[in-house]
Chains A and B, each alone.
Chain A
């Protein structure tokens, strides 16, 4: 299957700082990428849909000014958690769709964020 990478795999930061997470589709182009967060023993919760060259679409209850999403190219989307607080600590996962094949999504390995 297609490969999606995330960087970093884990990050620890101080409260009040901002953290950027990268999501890359390595062997295909992705017009659409998705960002999820997952708390322990819970399911994935969709945060936003990222479309290349346009603004992201956020799910209800997700603060767009806090979770900044940029999808500058067909292979890269970034999620920036601004002014992070301990309650933002979570597992963040991205996914991407292979535009050319209209297949399902392929997921990245996830990024573990811990805010102290």
Chain B
């Protein structure tokens, strides 16, 4: 399983774009990159998933460079309600995708 490294915490202000980068140097060929958001006392919520280049949905974008050794979650115009812990996970979807969580990034959005 590829190990992931993220910043422990980040601060931002409302309305700003936030980019959280995750390193996964040992990513395997079949691995996908998935990001989750977790609020206190709740289960993680799926945000976005990708394999390469760029993926965008209604809440975020995911940028993955050609070597796939890192990825960046981009949250446009954050609000106070985006204050949460964000986890980057790497795994093979077809292989059972046993998920090992890293420490995550604690994002704090200020008014």
B87 located at the interface, meaning its Cβ lies under 8 Å from any Cβ of chain A in the complex: yes
Q: How many residues of A contact B (CB 8 A)?
A: 25
The residue that A109 contacts in the complex, of B32, B43, B94, B97, with Cβ under 8 A, is B43
Interface of B is mostly: loop
Q: Is there contact, CB below 8 Å, between A43 and B46?
A: no
Interface string of A90-114 (1 = CB under 8 A from B): 0101010100001111111110100
A8 to chain B, nearest CB (A): 14
Q: Is there contact, CB below 8 Å, between B101 and A107?
A: no
Q: Is there contact, CB below 8 Å, between B34 and A112?
A: no
- What's the interface size class on B, roughly? 20 to 34
Report B-chain residues with C-beta under 8 Å of the C-beta of A49. 96, 98
Report B-chain residues with C-beta under 8 Å of the C-beta of A45. 101
Q: Is there contact, CB below 8 Å, between A46 and B98?
A: yes
**What separation, in Å, do the CA atoms of A109 and B41 have in the docked complex?**
8
The residue that B43 contacts in the complex, of A32, A43, A104, A110, with Cβ under 8 A, is A110
Q: Is there contact, CB below 8 Å, between B101 and A32?
A: no
**What separation, in Å, do the CA atoms of A4 and B43 have in the docked complex?**
10
**What separation, in Å, do the CA atoms of A43 and B38 have in the docked complex?**
10
Q: Is there contact, CB below 8 Å, between B97 and A107?
A: no
B87 to chain A, nearest CB (A): 7
Given A1-B46, A112-B41, also A104-B104 (CB < 8 A) = no
Task: Name B's A-contacting residues (CB within 8 A).
Answer: 32, 34, 36, 41-46, 49, 87, 89, 91, 93-94, 96-104
Other contacts beyond A103-B93, A108-B43, A112-B41: 7, CB < 8 A: A44-B44, A46-B100, A91-B41, A97-B97, A104-B97, A105-B46, A110-B41
Q: List 7 A-B contacts (CB under 8 A).
A: A32-B96, A36-B101, A46-B99, A46-B100, A104-B32, A105-B46, A110-B41
Closest 3 CB pairs between A and B?
A107-B43, A44-B101, A43-B101
